[in-house]
Amino acid sequence: MTDSTFLADVSQQTFATEVIERSEKCPVMVDFWAAWCGPCRTLMPLLAKLAGDYQGKFFLAKVDTESEKQLAQQFAIRSLPTVKIFRHGEVVDEFMGAQPEAAIRDILDRHIPRESDAIIERAQAHLKTGDSTQAIELLRQAVASDPDRDSPKIALAKTLLESGAVDAAQETLGTLSTAAQTDTTVIALKAQLDFAQMAEDTPSVDSLRETLSAHPNDTQARYQLGIQQIVAGDYQAAMDNLLEVVRHDRGFDNDAGRRSLLSLFALLGNQHPLVIQYRGKLAVLLN
């Protein structure tokens, strides 16, 4: 095997050091191969080239499955070549068979730290101290340094929305790639953005409570209070109010109570305890 600081042959005895421990510092790509495997011989020089190109941003570990049968069995290798990527001691990605260089680069780039990642970490540190202004500035820098990447934009949109900059958050979400639009985090952010925009045109929570105290059957006030409570993070109270809207007036604003409940469920996720509880309540009410 070519002598290099970026790649090495790995055995059962060296796997813990060369792969598991090293993966705490950088991604480790493990190539499970065999001399008799034609696609392995095709893939091997390409991976070695990438290890050189990336200059230590990832480490390439080669495992000869003929001499390291225990490792092959441990990682359930059924076909060759099989390539697994380790990060922080765990397999985080993999592929089988010879792949084109562009596809392998795409896989690697999911796991290799980038300049924007470090900037996002600094922004998160400022958010923990309540300094959202500096966090937003840093996140804008992260977006500028990596304009084709979605994750800095998502982080910026989330922070803008939490800071009340609704229009700026919407503009940022509009710059995401088509692929990112189906990401669960983005879907939740869009739902949160919709609620924030609706809340902008409603009276204050105190005013709505006063209205409902005097007029308990005011469906519009109850609906608006539910929207305000969603924005404030008071999700159970919001669900109670939206459920009352569904119970008393399904026709209100084209079934807005039910539609907003479903959007809130999407925002919180199917496994959230409140979603499980209130989805059942909604089902009973509708049936």
Instruction: Decide if pLDDT at 175 tops 50.
Output: yes
Domain identity same for 277 and 211:
yes
Domain identity same for 16 and 104:
yes
Residue 127 is assigned to a structural domain of this protein: yes
Residue 135 is assigned to a structural domain of this protein: yes
pLDDT tens figures, 184-202: 889 889 999 999 999 998 9
- Can you give the chain as a three-state secondary structure string? CCCECCEEECCCCCHHHHHHHHHHCCCEEEEEECCCCHHHHHHHHHHHHHHHHHCCCCEEEEEECCCCHHHHHHCCCCCCCEEEEEECCEEEEEEECCCCHHHHHHHHHCCCCCHHHHHHHHHHHHHHCCCHHHHHHHHHHHHHHCCCCHHHHHHHHHHHHHCCCHHHHHHHHCCCCCHHHHCHHHHHHHHHHHHHHHHHCCCCHHHHHHHHHHCCCCHHHHHHHHHHHHHHCCHHHHHHHHHHHHHHCCCCCCCHHHHHHHHHHHHHCCCCHHHHHHHHHHHHHHC
Domain identity same for 92 and 186:
no
Residue 40 is assigned to a structural domain of this protein: yes
Percent of residues, the chain, with pLDDT higher than 90: 89
pLDDT tens figures, 94-112: 999 999 999 999 999 889 8
Q: Are 137 and 121 in contact (CB under 8 A)?
A: no
Give the mean pLDDT of 48-56.
93
Q: Measured between alpha carbons, how far is residue 172 from residues 58, 177, 227 in Å? A: 31, 11, 23
pLDDT tens figures, 244-285: 999 999 999 999 999 999 999 988 988 999 999 999 999 999
The tokens describing 140, both together, are 């804008």
The domain tally of the chain equals 3
Query: Other CB atoms closer than 10 Å to residue 232's CB: what's the count?
Result: 12
pLDDT tens figures, 247-257: 999 999 999 99
Q: Measured between alpha carbons, how far is residue 221 from residues 67, 90, 114, 208, 245 in Å? A: 73, 51, 48, 6, 10
**Catalytic amino acids?**
37, 40
**Largest CA-CA distance found in the chain, in angstroms, rounded:** 83
Residue 16 is assigned to a structural domain of this protein: yes
CATH number, domain containing residue 128: 1.25.40.10
Domain identity same for 66 and 119:
no
Q: Which residue range forms the structural domain that includes residue 224?
A: 202-286
Domain identity same for 84 and 152:
no
Q: 153 falls in which pLDDT band (50, 70, 90)?
A: very high
Instruction: Decide if pLDDT at 4 tops 80.
Output: no
Domain identity same for 103 and 123:
no
- pLDDT of amino acid 179: 87
* Residue in 23, 24, 18, 21 with CA at minimum distance from that of residue 1: 18
- pLDDT of amino acid 232: 92
80 burial level (CB within 10 Å; 0-12, 13-18, 19+): buried
Where among 140, 164, 193 does a domain terminate? 193
Domain identity same for 11 and 102:
yes
Domain identity same for 63 and 133:
no
Where among 82, 109, 136 does a domain terminate? 109
Domain identity same for 158 and 144:
yes
pLDDT tens figures, 71-94: 999 999 999 999 999 999 999 999
Where among 65, 91, 109 does a domain terminate? 109
Domain identity same for 104 and 188:
no
Residue 65 is assigned to a structural domain of this protein: yes
pLDDT tens figures, 97-152: 999 999 999 999 889 888 898 999 999 999 999 999 999 999 999 999 999 889 99
Residue 276 is assigned to a structural domain of this protein: yes
Domain identity same for 272 and 231:
yes
Q: pLDDT averaged over the chain?
A: 94
- pLDDT of amino acid 115: 86
Instruction: Decide if pLDDT at 57 tops 50.
Output: yes
Instruction: Decide if pLDDT at 24 tops 80.
Output: yes
* Residue in 184, 181, 183 with CA at minimum distance from that of residue 269: 184
pLDDT tens figures, 220-235: 999 999 999 999 999 9
Residue 1 is assigned to a structural domain of this protein: no
Domain identity same for 100 and 119:
no
Residue 229 is assigned to a structural domain of this protein: yes
Q: 1 falls in which pLDDT band (50, 70, 90)?
A: very low
Rounded Cα distance, 91 and 94, in Å: 8
